Structure 1
Amino acid sequence: MITAMRILVVGAGGLIGQHVVDRLRRGGHEATTASRTRHAGLDHVVDATTATVADLRPLLAGHDGVVFAAGVDDRRTPRRPAYPVFHRGNVEPVRRLFTAAREEGLGRGVVLGSYYTHFHREHPEWRLAALHPYVRSRVEQARVAREAAGFPVAVLELPFVFGRAGDRQPNWAGPLARWARSGSPLTAPPGGSAATSADRVAETAVTALEQVSGADLPVADENMTWHGMFSRIADAVGRPRRVRRLHPAVLRSALRVAGAANRLSGKESGLDLAHLDRLLTRELFIGVGRPGALDHAIRETFGR
């Protein structure tokens, strides 16, 4: 029998955070919600990037565990050098949060991370952390969370996440939906990505808390080629059409041009555009996948 837990969810206003809260409560657990943006039903307004250990300890008091569902994603293009921005958004908040959790006597935790840490571990020859500031921040995030906590912290390594929570959808969904609905040609390079749903992530997070897991947990339901993903998105938005092949050399040239523009403006991407073509044209797949498993989640994301 599973004992009921009391869990603080930081980043509870986000797509995945909302699913985690819902899954906890449906499982008979108590969820306390914290987010930097006030919304109905929120327990605490807190900015994880600026909150100190002293700020966080009262929020954590009396809880069994904590979930970190906040952070800076890989689309950020700050001024050069980029790494300090990703460090401030992804590493320092978990250091302070899990230090406060240890001091308050909590015993379990979950960090929602990135599947790039999985590939960093499985393919050191790709040099992902050395080449990409965002990936480096996620690798450091996992290490720092566990060092600060001193108790089991599961790191969920997340790929593309489909789904919706009210009006909240993935940050990348809007641009893809507009592209799919437009008159512009749909093109896709070789390669592809693992993908999952927000509900599956929430289920995995709650199970990790219940089992007091400290594992690295890649989460995936399907492995999709870019061609297949874009075609299914076009179907979901009601504009099915052919997806044409994009030659890797064309992708490489476009990314080089974008990288040059960044340099001229003093900016740097979280995923270095000089090396991103090699990453995008790989099959970033996890396990064998289940074809069609995300049909409902894709329709939910894009079908409104």
Structure 2
Amino acid sequence: MSTVAIIGGTGLLGRATAEELLAHGYDVLSISLPPETAHPLEDVRYVYCDVAEASDEELLALLGGVGAVAYAAGADERIAPQAPAAGFFYRANVLPTQRMARLARQAGVRSFVVYGSYFAEFAERWPEIGLREKAGYVRTRLLQEQVAFLEGDGAMTVTSLRLPWIFGTMPDTIPLWNMFVAMDAAVPEDAPIAVPAGGTVMITTGQVAQAARGAIERGEHGETYALGGINMTYADFHRMIAEEAGLDPARVMPLPAEVFVPRMKAYDEAEAARGIEHGMHQADAALVQERLAYIDPEPVQAALGYGPDDVEAAIRESLRVCVASRTPAA
């Protein structure tokens, strides 16, 4: 029986990955920041520490006898750090991943899976937007993959899962999609709910976990896997929010990027005046969200051995948790 260490094992994706691996006979070591989870999974060994602060010797000791590492930690694009954003995300995502990959190789780990971002995928597909050059978060997500691949060359299989919008729930946690529920609920009742005209690919936590196991078992070194589930317009997603939140879905109005860009440019400038820089400038995000960030799921499902799932049911379950968290107790 092989042991898999999950960095970030108590988070949404780490927990789902642990459940998937346990169901298929793996031993699981969860390494995550404190505090201890209130809902531990039976048969998971939990270690609570900051891997950025732990010494090489401490981490090598933890990785002894580990066959695979799932790296499900790091900072995502919702964080708006002090400028420059690229430096922040380099320190938060690139350097820790490179270090952990180096130590995993030294410890004899055979497979290392990076939980990345589908913005890396679309930076490559849509070079004309310039995300690789202008978006610090996206630049460092691409670099995160490359340094991990280089650390594994010749000794360890390293793969990257490029993750899109992900839906699922875990105990005592409000899904991140609550930000959209709050935004839509704050729109005056006599006004439309303006949303981008594009769309995005969506998957479930279970699909991510299955894909991670597939990458451990059959992934090819240096490969990036853009995960697909279903494709949905932002308008349809916000109509689902309206239905779950008791709003009128007919109020949802998709609008082109030209409506949002001037306001987003002004917002970027105001943030810059405060010394803040988003990992993706909000004006650029508006251009991205006008497009259809869609992915055909079948090639990667075949490559990694994960299947379809009821993504819409997972979306609605996530939204219900968000709505319930905003509803005062009777």
Can you give the 5+ residue segments of structure 2 that lack an aligned partner in the other structure? Answer: 299-306, 322-330
State the shift of 1:55 in Å.
3.0
State the shift of 1:148 in Å.
1.6
1:241 to 231, 246, 249: 249
Match of 2:315? 298
Inter-partner Cα distance in structure 2 for 1:61 and 1:174: 40
Match of 2:238? 230
Match of 1:22? 19
Match of 1:201? 208
Residues 193 and 63 (structure 1 numbering): CA distance in 2 closer, same or farther, change over 3 Å? same
Residues 258 and 49 (structure 1 numbering): CA distance in 2 closer, same or farther, change over 3 Å? farther
Match of 1:63? 66
Q: Answer with 243-252 or 253-262: which moved more.
A: 243-252
Residues 170 and 48 (structure 1 numbering): CA distance in 2 closer, same or farther, change over 3 Å? farther
State the shift of 1:213 in Å.
3.4
Matches within 5 A, 1:45-64: 45-64=48-67
The answer as to whether partners of 2:196 and 2:286 remain within 8 angstroms in 1 is no
Residues 246 and 123 (structure 1 numbering): CA distance in 2 closer, same or farther, change over 3 Å? closer
Normalized per residue, the structure richer in helix is 2
- Could you list the per-position Cα deviations for residues 251-286 of structure 1 after superposition, in whole angstroms to 9, with x for gaps in the alignment? 112211210111110111100224222112111111
The alignment status of 1:117 with 2:120, answered yes or no, reads yes
Amino acid at match of 2:50: D
Structure 2 counterpart SS, 1:178: helix
State the shift of 1:71 in Å.
0.5
Matches within 5 A, 1:148-297: 148-150=151-153, 151-171=156-176, 173-184=177-188, 185-214=192-221, 215-242=223-250, 243-287=252-296, 293-297=310-314
Residues matched between the structures, number: 300
State the shift of 1:95 in Å.
0.8
State the shift of 1:48 in Å.
3.3
Inter-partner Cα distance in structure 2 for 1:81 and 1:282: 27
Inter-partner Cα distance in structure 1 for 2:220 and 2:26: 17
The answer as to whether partners of 1:53 and 1:99 remain within 8 angstroms in 2 is no
Inter-partner Cα distance in structure 1 for 2:261 and 2:317: 32
The answer as to whether partners of 1:133 and 1:270 remain within 8 angstroms in 2 is yes
The answer as to whether partners of 1:78 and 1:85 remain within 8 angstroms in 2 is yes
Structure 1 counterpart SS, 2:282: coil
Amino acid at match of 1:19: A
Residues 154 and 127 (structure 1 numbering): CA distance in 2 closer, same or farther, change over 3 Å? same
2:7 to 10, 21, 33: 10
Inter-partner Cα distance in structure 2 for 1:241 and 1:62: 53
The answer as to whether partners of 1:223 and 1:288 remain within 8 angstroms in 2 is no
- Could you list the per-position Cα deviations for residues 66-115 of structure 1 after superposition, in whole angstroms to 9, with x for gaps in the alignment? 01001100011111111111011110111111111011111101110000
2:29 to 29, 32, 37: 32
The answer as to whether partners of 2:5 and 2:28 remain within 8 angstroms in 1 is yes
The answer as to whether partners of 2:228 and 2:297 remain within 8 angstroms in 1 is no
Residues 109 and 193 (structure 1 numbering): CA distance in 2 closer, same or farther, change over 3 Å? same
Structure 1 counterpart SS, 2:95: helix
- Could you list the per-position Cα deviations for residues 130-161 of structure 1 after superposition, in whole angstroms to 9, with x for gaps in the alignment? 11000011000000111123311120001111
Inter-partner Cα distance in structure 2 for 1:13 and 1:103: 25
Task: Indicate the percent of aligned positions where both proteins have the same amino acid.
Answer: 28
Inter-partner Cα distance in structure 2 for 1:292 and 1:187: 29
State the shift of 1:244 in Å.
1.5
The answer as to whether partners of 1:53 and 1:97 remain within 8 angstroms in 2 is no
Structure 2 counterpart SS, 1:254: helix
Q: Answer with 146-155 or 118-127: which moved more.
A: 118-127
State the shift of 1:240 in Å.
4.4
Residues 180 and 291 (structure 1 numbering): CA distance in 2 closer, same or farther, change over 3 Å? farther
Match of 2:109? 106
Q: Answer with 98-107 or 46-55: which moved more.
A: 46-55
